[in-house]
């Protein structure tokens, strides 16, 4: 097995396009409200507001980012990234 494959196999985080919450599944593209309804509130949350101009209006192309973490559950943290209230990334991380 090549070195690249060995490093990939030893990786402790992985990308996923969906996540199970009890009997429900959230997928990329779901809204924050859909995720809250299916999974409940996250264990931790970080919010980055869009950069504003001097007049208080968001800069062109600026977006609100939110990073949610669920877990650990079974030693796995589930990390979700939202852009403007839409789920765009699900990552699983074992610690």
pLDDT of residue 60: 87
| Residue 5, in any domain of the structure | no
| Residue 8, in any domain of the structure | no
In a 13 Å sphere around the CA of 89, the CA atoms on its Cβ side amount to 14
Report which DSSP code applies to 31. Answer: B
| Residue 88, in any domain of the structure | yes
| Residue 7, in any domain of the structure | no
| Residue 3, in any domain of the structure | no
For 40-91, what is each residue's pLDDT tens digit? Answer: 999 999 999 988 889 888 888 889 999 999 999 889 999 999 999 999 999 9
Please give the tally of structural domains in the chain: 1
pLDDT of residue 11: 45
85: CATH: 3.30.1450
| Residue 50, in any domain of the structure | yes
Query: Which residues contact residue 32 at a Cβ distance below 8 angstroms, ignoring those fewer than 6 apart?
Result: 66, 82, 85, 86, 87
| Residue 67, in any domain of the structure | yes
pTM for the full model? 0.78
| Residue 1, in any domain of the structure | no
């Amino acid at each position: 097995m090549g070195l690249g494959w060995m490093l990939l196999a030893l990786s402790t985080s992985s990308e996923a396009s969906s996540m199970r919450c009890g009997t429900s599944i959230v997928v990329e593209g779901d809204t924050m409200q859909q995720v809250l309804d299916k999974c409940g509130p996250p264990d931790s949350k970080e919010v980055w507001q869009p950069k504003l101009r001097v007049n208080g209006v968001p800069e062109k192309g600026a977006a609100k980012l939110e990073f949610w973490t669920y877990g650990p559950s079974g030693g796995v943290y589930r990390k979700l990234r939202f852009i403007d209230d839409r789920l765009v990334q699900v990552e699983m991380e074992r610690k």
